[in-house]
Amino acid sequence: MEVEGEEKRLHRKQSLYQSLVRFAFFTFSASHFGNFSNMCVWVVGEILICDCFSISLLWVWFFFSLKDEKFQILQTEKYRGQQYSQIYFARLHHMRNLIYTLVPNWKPNLPVTTVLGLEAGKECIVVGTLYKHMKLKPSILDEYSKERSAVPLAKPHNFMHPDDYLVLEDESGRVKLANGILAPSVFVTGLVVALHGKETSDGDFFVQDILEAGLAPQKPLPLGSDEDKYVVFVSGLSVGSSESNPLQIQLLVDHMTGHLGDAKEQNIASQIVRVVIVGNSVNVPVRLLTGQNLASKDQSKLFEPFKELDIFLTQLAAALPVDIMPGSDDPANYSLPQQPLHRCLFPGASAYNTFVSCTNPHSFELDTVRFLGTSGQNIDDLDKYSDAKNKLDFLERTLHWRHLAPTAPNTLGCYPFIDKDPFLIESCPHVYFIGNQSKYETRLLQGSEGQKVRLICVPRFCETGVAVVVNMRNLESHTLSFSTCFDL
């Protein structure tokens, strides 16, 4: 076991801080335990040297395994003129096989057919991809071809309209779904479901019942562990934006690295085994990226937020493992799955092997507890094209649909995969987190087969000052709230 130690003196920006805290700490970390390619055993020990010279040594053991490989776009995957039909085909193919295994338990006596095989008046089951025809859906054609009207087009937050209707499609054709039990407001394009109904005389399909794939099977949680292990989720740091407050972020960092609070709090902090930064960590001044070479003044302006972020990340990575996911505002590609932020952006933090730049969506396992999450694009898109009481319902729906992002590629950018659909949820996570939401919401979802999923909306930190902590032992979650209101 290789042990490396490091001491670091940190620079504080806030004078208040500087007078309070001045210490050094060591981190012992051991990596490459065994020869597992993707799995490592981390032994994190922290020796905290505080003002009172008391030394506490804590050891937390855990297993980590990254499950991101299906979200990686390899160098061999190129744009060769392939279209989006292939990803829909792969999705339909996979989901249909799955749903076919469920149908006998659902409605054993009904014949299963394709859209083409529908016969007027005959009840049957059809599996296909839903397509929602939306009147208000913005079209790139309109932007491009319509003459500029005197009245600017209003940009609604939500594109729903009472006239929207659903269409079911498979390789053989499509059929319009007549008013049945299906509310178009709940469903979105790209979803694969089984429908029970019959064709009407008009050639529409009258839906009587619907079967979604339901929650995927879940690995059981490790039993009997009485050790608290925490994972912290934070999103929307937006370093460099006008809303971001460096002090708030520093407080968070210091808390997680155990430099704040009393012994009890430090004890809890020492049980944090991982920090996941769920997207939108920096705010790049977009106007600078026009394709022209930058003046040196602008270069520094562009790079300032990265430097700042790198300092925070370096502090974190020095203390505990950090995952950073790209988000919609980060310097990453636009379409899902977003590829890891390049290491050259974080020269300091990337020196640590505790620092993992990962994809969005991001999936990993800690001690057999399965985590899955995105930086929020998939849920935000659902919010634009469908309707729910709160964001958690969307989360729940995607799990029931066994698909992370059904609206990709239709309204959500997505790489045109040829033979797979990486967004299918093949096994149910224990913790499902979505970043960059307006407020913290959480719920424990219980599946019919005993699945237990902690659903979390991680709020934007720059707006709320809230990070979310999940206890792996019992899947309970609470918030860490940092407020920096001073009346000086």
Partner 1 sequence: MQTNNGGNKRRQPPIAPNPSKRFQPQHHEDESPALEEDEMMDEDVFLEETLIEDEEILRNEQASLALSSRLSKWKRPPLSPSSLSLSQNIIFQQLEIDYVIGDSHQELLPNSSGPAAILRIFGVTKEGHSVCCHVHGFEPYFYISCPPGMGPDDISRFHQTLEGKMREANRNSRAPKFVVRIQMMQKRSIMHYQKQKSQPFLKIVVALPTMVASCRGILERGIQIDGLGCKSFITYESNVLFALRFMIDCNIVGGNWIEVPVGKYKKTAKTISYSQLEFDCLYSELISHPPEGEFSKMAPFRILSFDIECAGRKGLFPEPSHDPVIQVANLVTLQGEDRPFVRNVMTLKSCAPIVGVDVMSFDTEREVLLAWRDFIREVDPDVIIGYNICKFDLPYLIERAETLKIAEFPILGRIKNSRARVKDTTFSSRQYGVRESKDVMIEGRVQFDLLQAMQRDYKLSSYSLNSVSAHFLGEQKEDVHHSIISDLQNGNSETRRRLAVYCLKDAYLPQRLLDKLMFIYNYVEMARVTGVPVSFLLSRGQSIKVLSQLLRKSKQKNLVIPNVKGQGSSQETYEGATVLEARAGFYEKPIATLDFASLYPSIMMAYNLCYCTLVTPEDIRKLNLPPECVTKTPSGDTFVKPSLQKGILPEILEELLAARKRAKADLKEAKDPFVKAVLDGRQLALKISANSVYGFTGATVAQLPCLEISSSVTSFGRQMIEHTKKLVIYGDTDSVMVQFGVPTIEAAMSLGKEAAEYISSTFTKPIKLEFEKIYYPYLLISKKRYAGLLWTNPEKFDKMDTKGIETVRRDNCLLVKNLVTECLHKILIDRDIPGAVQYVKNTISDLLMNRMDLSLLVITKGLTKTGDDYAVKAAHVELAERMRKRDAATAPNVGDRVPYVIIKAAKGAKAYEKSEDPIYVLENNIPIDPQYYLENQISKPLLRIFEPILKNASKELLHGSHTRAVSISTPSNSGIMKFAKKQLTCIGCKALLSNADQTLCSHCKGREAELYCKTVANVSDLEMVFGRLWTQCQECQGSLHQDVLCTSRDCPIFYRRKKAQKDMAEAKLQLDRWKF
Chain residues binding partner 1 by CB under 8 A are 75, 78-81, 83-85, 88-89, 92, 115-116, 118, 129, 131, 139-141, 144-145, 147-148, 150, 169-175, 189-190, 202-203, 284, 286, 289, 291, 294, 299, 302-303, 306, 331-335, 342, 344-345, 409-416
Task: Please write down the long-range contacts of 338-345, taking CB distance under 8 Å and 24 or more positions apart.
Answer: 338/375, 339/72, 339/73, 341/281, 345/306, 345/310
Phi/psi at 289 (5° precision): -95, 70
**Cβ proximity of 423 and 410 under 8 Å:** no
Q: At its nearest, how many Å lie between partner 1 and the CB of residue 331?
A: 5
Nearer to partner 1, 81 or 162 (CB): 81
Nearer to partner 1, 36 or 334 (CB): 334
Q: How far is Cα 423 from Cα 405, in angstroms, rounded to an integer? A: 6
Helix (H, G, I), strand (E, B) or coil at 454: strand
Nearer to partner 1, 172 or 267 (CB): 172
Q: At its nearest, how many Å lie between partner 1 and the CB of residue 176?
A: 9
C-alpha atoms less than 13 angstroms from C-alpha of 203 in its C-beta half-sphere: 4
Residues β-bridged to residue 467 = 480
Nearer to partner 1, 429 or 435 (CB): 435
Nearer to partner 1, 74 or 488 (CB): 74
Q: To the nearest 10°, the Cα dihedral for 443, 448, 451, 455?
A: -20
CA distance between the termini of the chain: 50
Nearer to partner 1, 148 or 157 (CB): 148
Q: At its nearest, how many Å lie between partner 1 and the CB of residue 109?
A: 24
Nearer to partner 1, 4 or 119 (CB): 119
DSSP string, 121-146: T--EEEEEEEEEE-SS---HHHHHHS
- The DSSP symbol for 301 reads H
**Cβ proximity of 433 and 423 under 8 Å:** no
List, in sequence order, every beta strand (DSSP E) within 284-368. 322-325, 355-357, 362-366
Q: At its nearest, how many Å lie between partner 1 and the CB of residue 247?
A: 25
Q: How far is Cα 374 from Cα 361, in angstroms, rounded to an integer? A: 4
**Cβ proximity of 479 and 469 under 8 Å:** yes
- The DSSP symbol for 394 reads H
Nearer to partner 1, 115 or 319 (CB): 115
Q: How far is Cα 150 from Cα 433, in angstroms, rounded to an integer? A: 43
Q: How far is CA 126 from CA 122, 132, 276, in A?
A: 12, 17, 41
Nearer to partner 1, 266 or 411 (CB): 411
Q: At its nearest, how many Å lie between partner 1 and the CB of residue 310?
A: 10
Nearer to partner 1, 82 or 353 (CB): 82
Q: At its nearest, how many Å lie between partner 1 and the CB of residue 21?
A: 30
Nearer to partner 1, 61 or 100 (CB): 100
Q: At its nearest, how many Å lie between partner 1 and the CB of residue 437?
A: 22
The amino acid present at 473, given as its one-letter code, is: R
Q: At its nearest, how many Å lie between partner 1 and the CB of residue 297?
A: 12
Q: At its nearest, how many Å lie between partner 1 and the CB of residue 166?
A: 13
Nearer to partner 1, 70 or 174 (CB): 174
- Going by their DSSP bridges, the two strands 441-446 and 452-459 should be labelled as antiparallel
Helix (H, G, I), strand (E, B) or coil at 84: coil
Q: To the nearest 10°, the Cα dihedral for 213, 72, 393, 368?
A: 80
Q: At its nearest, how many Å lie between partner 1 and the CB of residue 369?
A: 30
Q: At its nearest, how many Å lie between partner 1 and the CB of residue 123?
A: 17
Q: At its nearest, how many Å lie between partner 1 and the CB of residue 292?
A: 9
DSSP string, 345-389: G-TTGGGSTTEEE--BSEEEEETTEEEEEESSHHHHHHHHHS--S
Name the token pair of 68: 């991101």
Alpha carbon 197 to chain centroid, angstroms: 35
